[in-house]
A and B are shown apart, each in its own frame.
Chain A
Amino acid sequence: MSELRIEGLRAGVSGKEILKGIDLVLRSGEVHAVMGPNGSGKSTLSHVIMGRPGYEVLAGSITLDGEDVLAMDTWERAQAGLFLAMQYPTEVPGVSLAQVLSASFAAAGRSATDVPALVGAEAERIGFDARFLTRELNVDLSGGEKKRNETLQLGVLRPRFAILDELDSGLDVDALRACSARVEAATSEDGLGVLAITHYNRLLTVLKPDVVHILVKGELRATGGPELADELETTGYGAYLGEGESDREPQPADPFADPFGPGPFA
């Protein structure tokens, strides 16, 4: 039994505080949904857990079975058993999925010879066309294909905890079912703990949450069982706003946005 513990986490971008004190404990086999409107800090939470450059932790702690996650480099967090399925998986020209997974296995001291077979088995489980596997990572993939690709990597890498950052965005119904069913299976087969960050309920129809958190304005304003997600369907986020608060807030500045247009290797 493993435990990912977030305590008093405050974090932001370019001096602007976005997460204003998050407390959350996720254990093996559990599925926690974090739901909230745009700009509530959902993506920031996922990035801070994985250590994305550009995000500053202002206070609080994240530990994995007592180990200080915030002291680790991103790759060490991954090797320690954390996985982030990204909302917008990055295109990496000229690099294949097999190369990345082999490098990850090698860094863990595992033989990379199993990678092709594992990848093949996972691809079949989620109905991912094998022709994508040797292609450049995320290059020219549709939104849905990218999410299947993220789910496939989760299956091969077998993390202890997965953070799914809007896995349901850009997915058609079939892909959504395939991906969420795969994650659901990992919770029972491997004891995977899941932090599913989502805007909508639809991911949670297959991937049943044990706990639902409502994230508004960088705070968890409510925590409850699956019924909380159903309530949201009728009430919306308005019920969780304080007096004078609007449910719309500008998105935090993307620290990677290039003020001069497409990046050098776009």
Chain B
Amino acid sequence: MASAERFVADGLPTADEEAWRYSRIDDLDLDAFTPADAASAVRPSPPAADRLPVHAAPVIQLVDGRLASLTVPDGWADQGVQIGRVVDVPGAQQLLEALGIEPVDPFARLNEAFSVDPIIVRIPTGVHLDAPIVVTHHVATAGAAAFPRLIVVAGAGSEAVVVDVATSDDVAALSVPVVELHADRGARLRYVSVQDLGLRMWQLASVMASVGQEADLVAAAVALGGGYARLRTDCRLVGRGASGDLLAAYFGEADQTLDFRTFQDHRAPDTTSNLLFKGAVAGRSRSVYTGLIRVEKEARGTNAFQTNRNIKLSDEAWAESVPNLEILNNDVHCSHASAVGPVDEEQRFYLESRGVPPLVADRLIVSGFFDEVLSKLPVDGLAGLVRAQLDAKLEREGTERG
């Protein structure tokens, strides 16, 4: 329990720290939550597949951070694909030790200490998976603290898509998920998280990606739910010619706070990262985006781009956007852009001048605003489902305003 001791020694971060500025960390009362009980005989069931915001059937289902079911599609085992709890997969422990990933922050450390059923997915060299690996994390127990952990290791030249869906019952609980994505030389790994938690949930999530030589990663996030939902994404480009695209679409309403921290970490030459995060805030909701592009001295020939745009749909909503650059090599091409503003008045006037009522015009414009991200989601059929959820949010927002 070295991680737990370290966490206790370090204590919780505070909003005075840069990575926690504008966060609601100071409101978090960890004592209100208890790790989900291993001895509990009654394990709540995961939601039915038809209640999930994805079409594909789940492969891995976690409830309160514990493995509830595992269904590996036919043929994957024959291709050498390994999926299971780290303790059950031969060689997994040694592999993780070899990868040697340190927790990125105190909550990742807490996850390391309390994660009960860390799951590993290992795709062998050259294997192209024919279907997405759908993972569901459902939180069902009030007062529970859940620590889901997923490690995906994509071997050289392999191709895989992971869809990670977080849902909850309408309970006050804490979820601290950690995802590690390792793309070995020439691998193509696509990861999409859809966060659709209840509005009383706390989430402190981290996604850590390590991208090897000529490998290509897309990590996309759709954030819809949560009372306070934080997602930290670290994208480490560690091999020459590695590429990482980071995407997010988020929509806050009521009293939600959606909090995103990104680190585009260029550690090797000729690496490329491209970040596009777009959000809308309605009601009294808040969103935070802070991002850092860091180019190490050895990362010559880096291309790094970072764009965060936010639409404020009400006077009481609030969005913060703070892009940062830290560049230690001169041979780079970097840019960042950020904006927070209401629905574009000229766009609204244009649509109104065609006879479209203002609320409908705003819905079309906001929906169109997200299109740039949704059209890039690397899973077929997901964009439509997310669009429907966003439309429902816009509908509620419009009803409140109208």
Contact = CB atoms under 8 A, between A and B. Distances in A.
B309 A264 contact: yes
A157 B353 CA distance: 11
Interface in A9-30: none
Contacts of B345: 53, 256
Dominant secondary structure of chain A at its interface with chain B: mixed
A89 interface: yes
B129 interface: no
Interface size class of B (residues with CB under 8 A): 20 to 34
Q: Which of the listed residues B351, B356, B367 has the most CB atoms from chain A within 10 Å of its own CB? A: B356
Interface string A101-130: 101101110000000000000000000000
Nearest to B358: A75
Interface string A22-56: 00000000000000000000000000001011000
B355 A79 contact: yes
Interface stretch (B237-245, B285-293, B368-376): B368-376
27 contacts: A53-B345, A74-B349, A74-B352, A75-B352, A77-B353, A78-B353, A86-B350, A86-B353, A90-B347, A90-B349, A92-B347, A92-B351, A93-B372, A94-B367, A95-B364, A95-B367, A100-B354, A103-B351, A103-B361, A103-B364, A106-B360, A108-B355, A263-B341, A263-B344, A264-B344, A265-B309, A265-B347
B339 A265 contact: yes
Interface in A230-266: 256, 263-265
Nearest to A84: B353
Contacts of A108: 355
Contacts of B356: 75, 78, 100, 103-104, 107
Nearest to B310: A264
B355 A92 contact: no
Interface of B: 309, 311, 339-341, 344-347, 349-358, 360-361, 364-365, 367-372
Contacts of B358: 73, 75
A94 B309 contact: no
Contacts of B355: 75, 78-79, 104, 107-108, 157
Contacts of A93: 368-369, 371-372
Contact of B368 (A75, A94, A157): A94
A52 B354 contact: no
Nearest to B340: A264
Given A50-B353, A74-B352, A78-B353, A94 B347 contact: no
Dominant secondary structure of chain B at its interface with chain A: helix
Q: Which of the listed residues A50, A75, A104 has the most CB atoms from chain B within 10 Å of its own CB? A: A75
Contacts, number: 98
B352 A73 contact: yes
A187 interface: no
Minimum-distance CB pairs A-B, first 4 = A94-B368, A94-B371, A264-B339, A264-B341
Contacts of B339: 264-265
Contacts of B360: 103, 106-107
A74 B351 CA distance: 9
Nearest to A105: B355
B364 A101 contact: no
A153 interface: yes
A184 to B, nearest CB: 22
Contacts of B349: 52-53, 74, 90
A201 interface: no
Contacts of B354: 78, 100-101, 104, 153, 157
